[in-house]
């Protein structure tokens, strides 16, 4: 049996390499929209973070999304991210 390579991604909050399926993906679409992608399959540039509140706080504090996407992130994107994260947890 052939072992398949497990895709790893770095969390923008804690900077740890983790399995891609364990992380939440944020996508910047070609239309410059920011979407939380729980499936991991939407088109666009992606950034990942752990599904932990502490990582989300670090991501916002350190402006990890702005560094990853190399653009200014509107405040409403962070608010939407917090809301969707809270609904994802429950």
Break the chain into its structural domains and give their ranges: 9-85
HSE-CB at 8 with a 13 A cutoff on CA atoms is 6
CATH of the domain spanning 9-85: 3.30.1230.10
Q: What is the mean pLDDT of residues 43-66?
A: 91
- Whether 89 has a pLDDT exceeding 80, the answer reads no
Residue 40 pLDDT > 90:
no
| ∠ Cα 16 33 69 (to 5°) | 40
Backbone φ and ψ for 25, nearest 5 degrees, come out as -105, 135
Positive or negative torsion for Cα 18, 21, 23, 29: positive
**How high is the pLDDT of residue 81?**
83
Using a pLDDT cut of 90, give the percent of the chain over it: 43
DSSP secondary structure letters along 10-53: EBTTT--EEEGGGSEEEEE-TTS-EEEESSS--SSEEEEE-SSH
How much is the pTM? 0.84
């Amino acid at each position: 049996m052939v072992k398949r390579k497990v895709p790893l991604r770095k969390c923008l909050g804690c900077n740890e390499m983790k399995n891609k399926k364990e992380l939440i993906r944020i996508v910047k679409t070609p239309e410059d929209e920011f979407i939380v992608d729980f499936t991991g399959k939407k088109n666009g540039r992606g950034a990942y973070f752990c599904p932990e509140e502490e990582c989300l706080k670090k991501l916002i504090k350190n402006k990890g999304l702005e560094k990853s996407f190399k653009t200014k992130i509107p405040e409403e994107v962070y608010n939407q991210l917090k809301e969707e994260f809270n609904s994802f947890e429950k």
